[in-house]
Amino acid sequence: MRSYFTFVFAVLFFPLCILGCIQRPKAFQAGPSPDIGRIIGSLERDKNDLISFGGVGRLKTVRGSRLKSVRIVWIGCQPQHLRVEVLGPWGQPTLTFIIDKSRFYLRSSQDNRFFKGDATVGNLSRFLSISVRAEDLFGILSGQPPILPFHHAKIQASKGNAGWLLCLYKKWGRLTEKIWLKEDAKVVKRVEVFDAWGDMQYRVEFSEFHHVESFFLPHRISIFDKKGPLWSLTVEEFLTKVSIPDGAFTLEPG
């Protein structure tokens, strides 16, 4: 009888011992809140240190039920110069988009259309389907999160996700931006930008990070509005300190 109880005890207790010995992943333990000024300063430094850059990737856009995938190349340099080209099946440019500080230019080779104007949020949203500032588009394509002007900020441990949530506010406590950071409070995973009424204008998600020289940059960049995904960019190659050809940020009708 004793051997029977010993057997039952072993059957019931031994699996519990095994489970107790299995090492569980450590939960994120939020220590003292990181210094907000240091975080913002670090993000701004990374953006300013990226003097010039160039990339090659595949852009997937969503318009209703339509999904389109195109190959794109882009170059940029400070202050706020950006050139993006959509390539056709044979590698020829089919659409060229340029931001030259406060001006933008767009030329479609397929239907020979040409547009130019001030690089305002309203003008850019007509072509990009999101209300984004020119300087923020420049930052996103260089793998950097947008940092909108703000009056004060608060930081807290991110609920449900390891890391930190940094909230930026305008005067009178109006929320203008949310920034989700990794546990080290140095790498941005996600950003949400809000309008004057508190509605989300767009969300940017950065993922699959890797080192490019001294920068820690995303391999995938996705943008959403409140209805769902708008576009996703897979960065196949990204270079810093690229040489910018003369006239790269000028464009004339074809």
* pLDDT tens string 27-82: 445 557 889 999 999 999 998 899 999 999 999 998 877 889 999 999 999 989 99
What is the spatial distance between Cα 38 and Cα 22, in angstroms, rounded to a whole number?
38
Could you tell me if residue 156 is inside a domain?
yes
How much is the pLDDT for 33? 81
Average pLDDT over residues 204-219: 93
Q: Please give the angle made by the CA atoms of 34, 49 and 54, to the nearest 5 degrees.
A: 120
Would 11 be classed as within a structural domain?
A: no
| Cα(139)–Cα(254) distance, integer angstroms | 28
DSSP-assigned letter for residue 246: T
- The domain total for the chain is 1
CA distance 33 to 163: 11
pLDDT given for residue 31 in this prediction: 59
Residue 26 lies in a domain: no
| CATH label of the domain that carries residue 156 | 2.50.20.10
- Reading the block at residue 237, the tokens are 């190659």
**Residue 246 lies inside a defined structural domain of this protein:** no
140 domain-assigned: yes
Taking the model in full, what pTM does it have? Answer: 0.84
- Structural domain of 229: 34-235
pLDDT (mean) for 154-158 = 93
The per-residue pLDDT for range 8-25, each reduced to its tens digit, is 333 333 333 333 444 444
Distance CA 190, CA 204 (A): 6
What is the number of other CB atoms lying within 10 angstroms of the CB of residue 125? 14
- Burial of 116 per CB tally in 10 Å (0-12, 13-18, 19+): middle
Over residues 99-118, the mean pLDDT reads 94
pLDDT at 63: 81
CA 37 to chain centre: 21
Is there a domain that residue 29 lies in?
A: no
- Residue 221, SS3 per DSSP: strand
Residue-wise DSSP of 68-131? EEEEEEEEEETTTEEEEEEE-TTS-EEEEEEEETTEEEEEETTTTEEEEEE--HHHHHHHHSS-
61 occurs within a structural domain: yes
φ, ψ of residue 140 to 5 degrees: the values are -60, -45
- 47 within some domain: yes
